[in-house]
Amino acid sequence: MRSTQWAVIGGGIVGAAIAYGLARAGEKPLLLDEGDVAHRAARGNLGNVWVQGKGAALPPYADLSRRAANDWAAFAEELEKVTDIDVHFRRPGAFFLCFSPEELEKRGAMMARLNDAATVKSRFEVLEGDELRRRLPAAGPALAGAIFSPDDGTANPLRLLRALIQGTVALGGEYLPCRRAENITFTGNGVEIATAMGSVRAERVVLAAGLGNARLAPLLGLDAPVRPVRGQILVTEKVRPFLDCGTNFVRQTVEGGCVFGESSEEAGFDEGTTLPVLRETAARAVAAFPLLRHVQVVRAWGALRIMSPDGAPIYQQTQDGRAFLVSVHSGVTLSSFHAGPLVETLMGEGFSTPAYHPFSPERFHVQAA
């Protein structure tokens, strides 16, 4: 039986970032992953390093996202040094596109309230339609305006996932695919994780299995009330650069393809696409950027977000510090945080420290509030 000090369950961006951070700190983590067929938010998402509007209902989440975005440039540089992989991080700022003056006003007011409540301040501007089109010439007449924040960025999630796993291995960790955690039990001083390819014993385990955390958490007395929320995304042929900034639902990759999507559906574990949603998504993308009308879509897919009841992260641990739980839907943005400060916390005082109290799942227990 394999045995190790740290096991991380889940080889998506969240688990791989934590394993990478542990390896960087000198540990020899085992990163247990499923096979090719798995729900992979890491491979399905848009690739925004996004700050705008996050934490509107939970200001500590705003602070977390803002710190993570501020740390991203150094994180991307370090990943490239370790792995030779450029994760295409750019931070030219991003526009939240609004189709009506009411939406623009409401969004602007929300951003102002959020900034008052947050400790880490974020810059933003409210741009009327004409000013938006002056700054972003490809923007169409259907747009009433946008909120611009220079604190938002973009990255390539596929390159990020590869860099995190490669980096974990380069720094002394191990990546073990085809090891879906079937069962986890407390044993001796640690835990035992049963997989179809044998069991693994670890002194400490981090659950970062995305939607799988809902099933695994109760095995260890933890609580991950996460549900799948489907998003549908389309990607176009590669075209010459016209959009160097991010937006809330259209991103042009460094290679030139445009990725767009913003749908949010309760569809269970169905990762499929539906014509009405794809049609609406394409229509809004073309309304925002009329030149997309001439651009061919080459692929579309559905992917499942890992959504908590309030959309904010869940961080929790067992009292004895043997098992930790990390459930977030914002794995790209928070990856710099997960690899850095969060790993320090795991190896140090744990999630019982006050900074993590707002992210305990106890906030969902009405009786306890």
To the nearest whole angstrom, how small is the minimum distance from the Cβ of residue 284 to another protein?
A: 17
What gap in Å lies between CA 15 and CA 44, rounded to an integer? 16
Q: Say if residues 223 and 264 touch (Cβ distance below 8 Å).
A: no
Distance CA 267, CA 270 (A): 6
Closest CA to 14 of 52, 46, 40: 40
Helix (H, G, I), strand (E, B) or coil at 55: coil
Nearer to another protein, 194 or 295 (CB): 295
Cβ-based nearer residue to another protein, 102 or 237:
237
Angle at Cα 56 formed by Cα 52 and Cα 61, nearest 5°?
Answer: 80
Which residue number, 140 or 302, has a Cβ lying nearer to another protein? 140
* 3 state SS of 128: strand
Query: Buried b / exposed e across 231-241, counting CB within 10 Å, b at 16+?
Result: bbbbbbeebee
Query: Which is nearer to another protein, 242 or 364 (by Cβ)?
Result: 242
Phi-psi bin for 109: left (phi > 0), alpha (psi -120 to 50), beta? alpha
Q: Can you read off the two tokens belonging to residue 16?
A: 């791989």
Q: How far is the CB of 96 from another protein (least distance, A)?
A: 22
Least distance in angstroms from the C-beta of 301 to another protein: 16
> Angle at the Cα of 344 (from 343 to 345), degrees rounded to 5?
90
Least spacing, CB of residue 132 vs another protein, in Å: 14
Shortest distance, CB of residue 236 to another protein, whole angstroms? Answer: 9
**Cα–Cα distance measured from residue 351 to residue 357, given in angstroms and rounded to the nearest whole number:** 8
CB of 139 to another protein, least distance (A): 10
Toward another protein, which CB reaches closer, 109 or 283?
Answer: 283
Quote the least distance from Cβ 290 to another protein, whole Å.
6
Helices assigned H by DSSP within 136-199: 157-170
Which of the 8 DSSP states describes residue 211?
Answer: G
For another protein, the closer of residues 67 and 159 by Cβ is: 159
Nearest to another protein of 175, 289 (CB atom): 289
CA distance 260 to 339: 28
Look-up of token digits 């020899």: 28
Instruction: Select from 263, 233, 276, 231 the least CA-distant residue to 251.
Output: 233
* Cβ at position 258, least distance to another protein in Å: 10
Minimum CB separation of residue 80 from another protein in Å reads 17
CB closer to another protein out of 38 and 136: 136
Nearer to another protein, 237 or 310 (CB): 237
Report which of 192, 190, 224, 231 is spatially closest to residue 207, judged by C-alpha positions: 224
Beta carbon nearer to another protein, 291 or 347: 291
Closest separation in Å from C-beta 243 to another protein: 11
What residues pair up with 300 in beta bridges, in sequence order? Answer: 234
Query: Residue numbers of the site for another protein (CB under 8 A)?
Result: 137-138, 237-242, 255-256, 290-296, 298
